[in-house]
Amino acid sequence: MNIYPTAEQAATTRIPVVLTVKDAVHKIKEDCPGTAITENYLRQLIKDGVLPELKAGNKVLINLDVLIEYLSNPTAEKFQPKAKVIGFGGIRPIAAGR
């Protein structure tokens, strides 16, 4: 089993552009200086589960292509917020019968 790509596969494979939130905002503002996109907005999208994140140590990274796709069509089904689990990770009451 060969895990390395063939020369043809390597030539057609494009490495995704993955940036920190700060760098992604900087890149977008470079391309469109008048944009209102902020770091806080992107962090909220990540927190809400709308945009996928990649953790590298303490850094939060996002795929620039996915971000641009979201900005082009934010109502797409793949960008709908993920359902939150209620009652998990918080303080729960102790049952009275114990």
Domain boundaries, the chain: 15-77
Residue written as token pair 């082009």: 72
Give the pairing type, strands 54-56 and 59-63: antiparallel
Chain segment 64-82, per-residue pLDDT in tens: 999 999 999 888 888 877 6
Q: Which residues does 48 contact at the CB level (< 8 Å), separation at least 6?
A: 81, 82
Question: Which residue(s) pair with 18 in the sheet?
Answer: 63
Chain segment 21-73, per-residue pLDDT in tens: 999 999 999 988 999 999 999 999 999 889 999 999 999 999 999 999 999 98
Among the listed residues 79, 16, 76, 23, the one whose alpha carbon sits nearest the alpha carbon of residue 46:
79
